Every structure is written in structure tokens, then in C-alpha cells.
Amino acid sequence: MLGAPGAGKGTQAKMIADKYSIPHISTGDIFRANIKNGTELGMEAKKYMDEGKLVPDELTVRILLDRVAKDDCKNGYVLDGFPRTIPQAEVLDSELTKLGDKIDYAINVDVPDENIVNRMSGRRACVTCGATYHIVHIPPKNPGICDKCGSELILRDDDAPETVLKRLGVYHEQTQPLIDFYENKKVLKTVDGTVDSADVFKQITDILG
């Protein structure tokens, strides 16, 4: 799944996993599981994370391949949030080829930056229970107050327009080139991410069949 932060690719990845009964794989989840279970790969990744460093691409791919080798991935899987860069995509591609596996589709959830800034800067989170709202799409009954526990709702730093623009800048620099990479491999499919999430999902299922 490809798409800018806030494009909704994580939501779509979960919906695909549910519909097709295949695992939804995010590298963050696999790292946490490996560290929790004290695996050799997990301990290796933890060393980098404890030092505040990025886990090297080769190690990330090894952890990912270990996950997709499990029985529940025999009929397919959805990758969410990986690869993020061209080097990661190249390592993943060559390692999957060795296993007789490949990426069937790279689905790009396309949303213009302006929509993403509006979408994310409208989010509000409860300081107490963590419930999330959107001032336009899912407003609370009383402005600024959580429906569930009555606490104050805030705009998280991550969702502030200037932070969102910075994250989009990083995305365009590092991850956008993946669109060309998968286009060249003839597996890229782009869907309109500005419509309702059910309509985005319909576009994706039309592609996957």
C-alpha cells in the first residue's frame, strides 16, 4: 500500500486483509512482536532502536521475510508502510524473487496535499480516553468535549498543519519515487483517495478481483 501520511492507506490495508482473510503486515507491528518474543532478529533491531537509529534496510527486510514465510501468508498478505524507500524496495524485490514470490499490486491511495492538511488538521483527540474525532466528518456532540468521557479534545502536534506539511515533504522526497519504481514494474494501480473510504475500497476490490 502506497500513499502519503493521512491518505488512509492503513485503513484500506486492514479492510483488504479482512475481506480476503490474509494478514495485514506493518513493519512496526512485526518489530514489536519480535522484540516482545525476544527473537534473534528482534534483539538485533532493538539495538538500533534503543540508540535512536533507524533499523537498516537489510535487517528490516529479513524480519519482514521471516514474517511472510509463516503459514498464514501462503494465500497472500498486505504490506502497509513498507517499503518506504527505493533501496528497501530493491532489497525486498530481489529477496522475494529468490523465494519465488513477488509483489502483485502496488496500490497508491492518491490524495492531494491540500486535502491531507485539511483532513489531519481537523482531527481532535481526547486527552483522557484517546477517542478521536474530526471537526467536519465526525464532530463531537459538544465542540471541544469528548462524547465518551467529557474530557477536553486537543489538536495533536502530529496533526498540526506545519507538522503535516513537513511529513508530506519527507514523503515526497523519499517515498514518492516508489510510485515510479512500481510503475516501471507494471504493478502500480492508483485509486482516488479523496472519496469516501467505502468508495476507495470498492476501487481497490475492483482491481484485486
Query: Domains, the chain, ranges and CATH?
Result: 9-191 (3.40.50.300)
pTM for the predicted model, two decimal places: 0.83
Query: What are the C-alpha distances in Å from 9 to residues 1, 12, 78, 102, 131?
Result: 6, 5, 11, 20, 20
pLDDT in tens, 162-204: 999 998 998 898 888 999 999 999 999 999 999 999 999 999 9
Q: What is the pLDDT of residues 48-58, one digit of tens each?
A: 888 888 888 88
Task: Give the three cell numbers for residue 110.
Answer: 492518491
Catalytic residue flag (residue 123): yes
Annotated catalytic residue 119: no
Q: Which of 9, 67, 119, 124 is catalytic?
A: 9
80 pLDDT more than 90: yes
Phi-psi region of 126 (alpha: psi -120 to 50; beta: other; left: phi over 0): beta
**62 has catalytic annotation:** no
Active site residue 124: no
The CA distance from 133 to 180, in Å, is 35
Q: Looking at residue 209, what is its pLDDT?
A: 87
**Mean pLDDT computed over every residue of the chain:** 93
Q: 78 forms bridges with which residues in the sheet? A: 24
